[in-house]
Chain A
């Protein structure tokens, strides 16, 4: 029995020793055998066990020494002078501790929140609408983790904007409003949404309630008018923007709308409202409050909130404006200047309210373009009536330096002709760095693997490839650090600007610059303009490309897709170039 036990123990010890020898580095294996040979002189199992435990320390020290000695050698070089060992086989030259250090520094920089955000926004800028879904999904997931009782109404309100599952957004909005009635303005968001088949169902009771909650605001009133407008003009082609109704008469769409007394009354009611507020400031304030409370620091979320905002249907507004202009012209021709002046003043009053109450460039643009058309008709009449002061006042209010960029009717190919701004160059550099970082990470991994395998005979015949990868081992860590540092320094000003908005109580007034500073990455407007096509046939709508240029506030171009052009081709041909950072993806939200 005792002999069996001894034999069993010897077998275990021998196995253990074989493992120790196997785990030792090659240059220490002889010592492992020397260590193992002593076992035959050790009599008791306990003493043998204690002896064997020392083998673990032996392995650890031997491996550690091997590691320390290897630090000064490049990857794939086993020992000795790299020029002497394995002559003729390409080898990296950089000591591995330098390579590893550079890679570690790159990793640290890439893990910085601002750099991660820069990479994320660059990737998102090129994923079509994917970034919106991902950003919205992250927010929805976050709020789902919060217990029901602890959910605050503002968070519910914000999340309701992004719940694209039919009905879910409305449910969340109802919960938010139930908990905090001052959030009733969010109803506008849900009532003005567009689904894949057109506008969402708008229960009249909800529309009326929205108007009761905000009685002086033109925007809820416009909602009622839009419902009538959509019904009345279904199947008609959209009016080209550059038409002049006074000279060319009303378009088919406008005529159809003008025949609808309900629409005329609703629009008249809307144009008579004392104020205009499309809830942009409140929307941003909501975002600011929720972001601060829940520690959200995501420019993509801000971008999503801003660009997904629903605004009044400008085609509807423009149509009524054109109807008033046309009616005014008819009144002038009939000698009824009083009626003409009343119609033109109505346009100007509404435009003024829209301009002062709005926060977006597109609203400013629409209001200005409407007003200028009306002013062109009204000024001569006022001067004829001796009301020169009013004419001068209106002139000075509306005619200032702001340049309205109106894109002439689209040609089939349009390419950027303006020189690049500094911001645009920075954006291009960010894109380049981000792409380079992704490529270099992959290249560094593959190159190091190849270098480690350089001793294998299979690679001897592939010297060129081996040379390339060995050179890559030397260079990619340096390039990676350079790209990471460059990306950090390029994006940092945007990150700081973005963060400053969330610490400033006045930032809600500075919507334009917030959008510009939001993410710092370009948005290809050709991808992000949206064309609505109704299911009822050939109706084409306006679409709007919004961009910033030369560090100024938004300009916007209105263009009209005349006939049968596939949206993607047309859009691509219009604006293939980069636009400045922080450009709003507003076209999707401008109610067109």
Chain B
């Protein structure tokens, strides 16, 4: 796995980073991320896969006994990645190729 390599940032990736940074310590479900960012599943999951491969993302499965239904997969940014993500968003905003879309907590 490529640890911490900077990624090619697309507008869709910036959207996702913004959503993940809204509650950085919170574990997110895939469907809720899709709804927040309005990204289709076919766009969302490749980004998640790439972020995970580059060690920006940590993932886990829900505890099935805790939820009482089939477990879902959870995602959040790693602690180092949160700083990188903020840098990327600030840089993108400075270059005027992106502006915040989601409300930050």
Chain B residues positioned under 8 Å from A54 (CB to CB): 40-45
- Rounded to whole angstroms, the CA-CA distance of A37 and B69 in the bound complex is 10
- CB contacts under 8 Å to B, within A56-84, are 56-58, 61-62
Question: Chain A CB within 10 Å — which of B42, B44, B46, B59 has the most?
Answer: B42
Interface window among A28-36, A198-206, A421-429, A569-577: A28-36
Question: Is A42 an interface residue when CB atoms closer than 8 A count as contact?
Answer: yes
Chain A residues positioned under 8 Å from B5 (CB to CB): none
Establish whether residues A55 and B29, one from each chain, have CB atoms under 8 Å apart when the complex forms: no
Establish whether residues B42 and A31, one from each chain, have CB atoms under 8 Å apart when the complex forms: no
Known contacts A31-B49, A34-B30, A38-B29; is-contact A55 B70 (Cβ 8 Å): no
- Rounded to whole angstroms, the CA-CA distance of A56 and B45 in the bound complex is 11
Establish whether residues B42 and A58, one from each chain, have CB atoms under 8 Å apart when the complex forms: yes
Question: Is B100 an interface residue when CB atoms closer than 8 A count as contact?
Answer: no
Establish whether residues B69 and A51, one from each chain, have CB atoms under 8 Å apart when the complex forms: no
Question: Is A50 an interface residue when CB atoms closer than 8 A count as contact?
Answer: yes
Question: Is A342 an interface residue when CB atoms closer than 8 A count as contact?
Answer: no
Minimum CB distance partner of B69 in chain A: A40
Question: Is B6 an interface residue when CB atoms closer than 8 A count as contact?
Answer: no
Fill in one digit per residue for A170-184: 1 if any B CB lies within 8 Å of its CB, else 0: 000000000000000
* In-complex Cβ contact of B31 among A31, A33, A38 (8 A): A38
Establish whether residues A57 and B30, one from each chain, have CB atoms under 8 Å apart when the complex forms: no
Chain A residues positioned under 8 Å from B69 (CB to CB): 40
Question: Chain B CB within 10 Å — which of A37, A41, A58 has the most?
Answer: A37
Establish whether residues A37 and B40, one from each chain, have CB atoms under 8 Å apart when the complex forms: no
Question: Is B71 an interface residue when CB atoms closer than 8 A count as contact?
Answer: yes
Question: Chain B CB within 10 Å — which of A31, A42, A50 has the most?
Answer: A31
Nearest-neighbour CB distance to chain A for B48, whole angstroms, equals 8
Establish whether residues A57 and B43, one from each chain, have CB atoms under 8 Å apart when the complex forms: yes
Question: Is B86 an interface residue when CB atoms closer than 8 A count as contact?
Answer: no
Known contacts A40-B70, A58-B46; is-contact A35 B41 (Cβ 8 Å): yes
Establish whether residues A35 and B72, one from each chain, have CB atoms under 8 Å apart when the complex forms: no
Chain B residues positioned under 8 Å from A42 (CB to CB): 31
Establish whether residues A28 and B70, one from each chain, have CB atoms under 8 Å apart when the complex forms: no
Establish whether residues A53 and B29, one from each chain, have CB atoms under 8 Å apart when the complex forms: no
Nearest-neighbour CB distance to chain A for B67, whole angstroms, equals 10
- Rounded to whole angstroms, the CA-CA distance of A55 and B43 in the bound complex is 10
- Rounded to whole angstroms, the CA-CA distance of A41 and B70 in the bound complex is 10
- CB contacts under 8 Å to A, within B18-47, are 29-31, 34, 40-46
Chain B residues positioned under 8 Å from A56 (CB to CB): 42
- Rounded to whole angstroms, the CA-CA distance of A54 and B43 in the bound complex is 7
| SS class, residues of chain B in contact with chain A | helix
Known contacts A31-B49, A34-B30, A35-B30; is-contact A40 B43 (Cβ 8 Å): no
* In-complex Cβ contact of B45 among A35, A40, A52, A53 (8 A): A35
- Rounded to whole angstroms, the CA-CA distance of A55 and B45 in the bound complex is 9
Establish whether residues A37 and B42, one from each chain, have CB atoms under 8 Å apart when the complex forms: no
- Rounded to whole angstroms, the CA-CA distance of A92 and B44 in the bound complex is 37
Establish whether residues A58 and B45, one from each chain, have CB atoms under 8 Å apart when the complex forms: yes
Nearest-neighbour CB distance to chain A for B52, whole angstroms, equals 8
Further pairs besides A40-B70, A61-B42: 11, Cβ < 8 Å = A35-B41, A38-B72, A41-B29, A50-B41, A51-B31, A51-B41, A53-B40, A54-B41, A54-B44, A54-B45, A57-B40
Minimum CB distance partner of A59 in chain B: B42
Minimum CB distance partner of A40 in chain B: B70
- CB contacts under 8 Å to A, within B46-66, are 46, 48-49, 59
Question: Is B99 an interface residue when CB atoms closer than 8 A count as contact?
Answer: no
Nearest-neighbour CB distance to chain B for A206, whole angstroms, equals 80
Chain B residues positioned under 8 Å from A53 (CB to CB): 40-42
Establish whether residues A41 and B72, one from each chain, have CB atoms under 8 Å apart when the complex forms: yes
Chain A residues positioned under 8 Å from B71 (CB to CB): 37
Chain B residues positioned under 8 Å from A28 (CB to CB): 49
- 16 A-B pairs with CB atoms under 8 Å apart are A31-B49, A33-B73, A34-B30, A34-B45, A34-B59, A34-B73, A35-B45, A37-B72, A37-B73, A54-B40, A54-B42, A54-B44, A54-B45, A57-B46, A58-B41, A62-B49
Establish whether residues A61 and B30, one from each chain, have CB atoms under 8 Å apart when the complex forms: no
Establish whether residues B72 and A57, one from each chain, have CB atoms under 8 Å apart when the complex forms: no
Establish whether residues B41 and A61, one from each chain, have CB atoms under 8 Å apart when the complex forms: no
- Top 5 nearest A-B pairs (CB, nearest first) are A57-B42, A54-B41, A54-B42, A34-B73, A38-B31
- Rounded to whole angstroms, the CA-CA distance of A33 and B34 in the bound complex is 17
Nearest-neighbour CB distance to chain A for B76, whole angstroms, equals 14
Establish whether residues B41 and A41, one from each chain, have CB atoms under 8 Å apart when the complex forms: no
- Rounded to whole angstroms, the CA-CA distance of A54 and B33 in the bound complex is 14
Chain A residues positioned under 8 Å from B70 (CB to CB): 37, 40
Establish whether residues A50 and B40, one from each chain, have CB atoms under 8 Å apart when the complex forms: yes
Minimum CB distance partner of B59 in chain A: A34
* In-complex Cβ contact of B30 among A38, A50, A55, A62 (8 A): A38
Nearest-neighbour CB distance to chain B for A41, whole angstroms, equals 5
Chain B residues positioned under 8 Å from A61 (CB to CB): 42, 46
- Rounded to whole angstroms, the CA-CA distance of A38 and B40 in the bound complex is 13
Chain B residues positioned under 8 Å from A35 (CB to CB): 30, 41, 45
Establish whether residues A55 and B41, one from each chain, have CB atoms under 8 Å apart when the complex forms: yes
- Rounded to whole angstroms, the CA-CA distance of A57 and B29 in the bound complex is 19
- Rounded to whole angstroms, the CA-CA distance of A256 and B59 in the bound complex is 108
- Rounded to whole angstroms, the CA-CA distance of A251 and B45 in the bound complex is 99
- Rounded to whole angstroms, the CA-CA distance of A40 and B46 in the bound complex is 20
Nearest-neighbour CB distance to chain B for A61, whole angstroms, equals 5
Nearest-neighbour CB distance to chain A for B46, whole angstroms, equals 5
Chain A residues positioned under 8 Å from B45 (CB to CB): 31, 34-35, 54, 58
Minimum CB distance partner of B39 in chain A: A54
Chain A residues positioned under 8 Å from B73 (CB to CB): 33-34, 37-38
Establish whether residues A41 and B42, one from each chain, have CB atoms under 8 Å apart when the complex forms: no
Question: Chain A CB within 10 Å — which of B29, B34, B45 has the most?
Answer: B45
